[in-house]
Amino acid sequence: MDSSPGRWLLLETLTEDLGPSLVADDAQAKQWTASARLHRTIGLAPARGALDAVRRCVGGGESQRTVVGDTLLLAEPVRCAFGGVHGVQIWIGPADAPVRPRRRVAAWDFASDTELAHHGPGLEELVFAREPEQVRVVRTPPDAFGRMVRFDGRVDYFDMATRLEPGGHWQGEVDMLGDDDCVRRFQMVARARPDLHRVSALMHAIPELGDDAAALDPDVTMLRAVSQRSSVGVGFILLSSAVIYEWASEPPAPLDRWAVQRATIEPTDFAALRAACADAARRPGTARRLELRVRFDDGEWIRAQAELVTITTDATGHGLLRVWSAVDDESIDA
């Protein structure tokens, strides 16, 4: 690793109503260190210069360069898909020393009303090692969560994302499987944005930590392995919201588009699914059968059979939804 003097700091600016907070010092995660305490990390004068650079960077969306005494401060924005700045990387080092390449950081948002994720510039290339022609801005939850091979604290994250309360936040490590079949480690930092019906987040690559920071959840690993041998679609579902966030086994035709698109579930059937999820959360252990009418984009309604069961692991509040076509290739009018 380059031993040049200086360091990169990552400050999250995920919400406008809260001041920026320090979440990483080079590869070391920081637990929401308030900007008012930044002087304890880098000194009073550099801290003032850094926070001024952050404000200008967020306001204008452009890089900033400041020299405070003998100290060079560079501020680099981390832009989101909506044009805002979700984070700022700050280089602090001697004015006469070389600047190390900045950390690899990108942003994303999850819109709770549409159940779609919006990936900021460079996110898919960073997290999924995706070729430019395969990059998309808008993704369904399974597109992202289905690539997580390790997600410590998933229960707490989904609780925050479902409640979407002011001040809600989550930080932890996740391991992501790229299109090149390589696993990469990230610090994920997320805040609830109830004013916008969103969760906003940063992904910070931390390859320095290696692959031994935590063990896989053996129960979830086993569920994925067993589900992949199923002849029906098997999705992980949040019982609190009925959001399918991962397909362990993709649905068979004619429901196969569900793996890559957000399906519209007929309102009456969706209400029944929500009720079944609520009942499963209260009384786990019993399978529940439903019939769902779903469609993709503006296509025809397709009748699907579904079976809901709770997951008997530490992931309380989660279930498995098995789906298959009620009548092969039969579509109906709602």
Count of CA atoms in the C-beta half-sphere (13 A) of 291? 7
212 to 29, 171, 178, 184, 296: CA distances (angstroms)? 16, 18, 18, 12, 41
Within 10 A of 215 (CB to CB), how many other CB atoms are there?
A: 9
Query: pTM score, two decimals?
Result: 0.82
Residues of the chain with pLDDT under 50: 1, 212-215, 329-334
The CA-CA-CA angle for residues 286, 287, 289, to 5°, reads: 140
Cα–Cα distance for residue pair 138/123, rounded to 1 Å:
11
- Kindly report, residue by residue over 49-101, the tens digit of the pLDDT: 889 999 999 999 999 998 988 999 999 999 999 999 999 999 999 999 999 99
- Alpha-carbon gap, residue 36 to 48, rounded angstroms: 9
* Amino acid at position 261, single letter: Q
Say how far apart CA 139 and CA 135 lie, in whole Å: 10
Read out DSSP for 216-250? --HHHHHHHHHHTT-SSEEEEEETTT--EEEEEEP
Instruction: Please report the pLDDT score of residue 162 as a whole number.
Output: 87
pLDDT of residue 261: 85
Strand, helix or coil for residue 9: strand
Q: What's the token pair of residue 329?
A: 């290739």
The reported pLDDT for the residue numbered 200 is 97
- Per-residue pLDDT reduced to its tens digit, 173-218: 999 989 998 989 999 999 999 999 999 999 999 988 775 444 455 5
d(CA 299, CA 164): 32
Closest CA to 92 of 27, 42, 22, 48: 42
Q: Both tokens of residue 250? A: 């993709």
Calpha distance 195→193 (Å, rounded):
5
- Evaluate the CA torsion angle 26, 191, 86, 15 in order and state its sign: negative
Using only the alpha carbons of the chain, give its radius of gyration: 22
pLDDT of residue 330: 46
Closest by Cα among 306, 304, 251 to 274: 306
pLDDT of 294 reads 95
Query: By the 8 A CB rule, do 271 and 244 touch?
Result: no
- Rounded CA gap, 56 and 58, in Å? 6
CB atoms within 10 A of CB 225: 10
Among 126, 132, 135, 224, which Cα is nearest to 178's? Answer: 126
